[in-house]
Structure 1
Amino acid sequence: MHEEKLITVLEQLVEKLDKPQQAIPFDKQIWDEAQCAAYMGVSKRQFAERISADPHFPPVYNISAGSGVRRDSRYKACEVVRWVESRKIRRPAC
């Protein structure tokens, strides 16, 4: 009896894994501080203390549930990439 239930659960799992996953469009993705830091190649601490504090950096979204003190910060990925690209150093032509 136990084996039948296990087989059923495994079949359901295989069926679920066989279905293609819906990818979130890039312009709808949100990143946490660790993902932003990894994208920029800096430490999470440097991102949190220096980069995200820049007044021109994209706005932060607090996605934590409830109204507690805890803050669950997220950033729109496309805005972070756009901000990084706007920081490109322009070199004079030779």
Structure 2
Amino acid sequence: MARRHVPLEPVEEVLDLIAENSEASLRTLKAHHRMHMLQGYAAVYECHAGNAADLLMVWHSEGDAAYILRLGSHDQVLGRRGRY
């Protein structure tokens, strides 16, 4: 698998919004980063980091905690099997 440079600023911005977990931060994630819940998974979300067309972040929310599960391209994150 080829490695590629991922700019950290957009990733850090999304991480900050996830950690904030406020109504305003969730609105921003939905409006600017296309956040949505993954079908078939309880409390697992996906968004585009930095509005990049091919950089996804997947995380699980549990109470006040968020656990980052995957970060990568569509193929890396979702793959052909459709799994995170």
TM-score by shorter chain over 0.5: no
TM range (shorter): 0.3 to 0.5
Larger radius of gyration: 1
Q: Whose strand fraction is larger, Structure 1's or Structure 2's? A: 2
Q: Whose helix fraction is larger, Structure 1's or Structure 2's? A: 1
TM (norm. structure 1) is 0.30
TM (norm. structure 2) is 0.32
The one of the two structures with greater contact order (alpha-carbon pairs below 8 A, sep at least 6) is 1
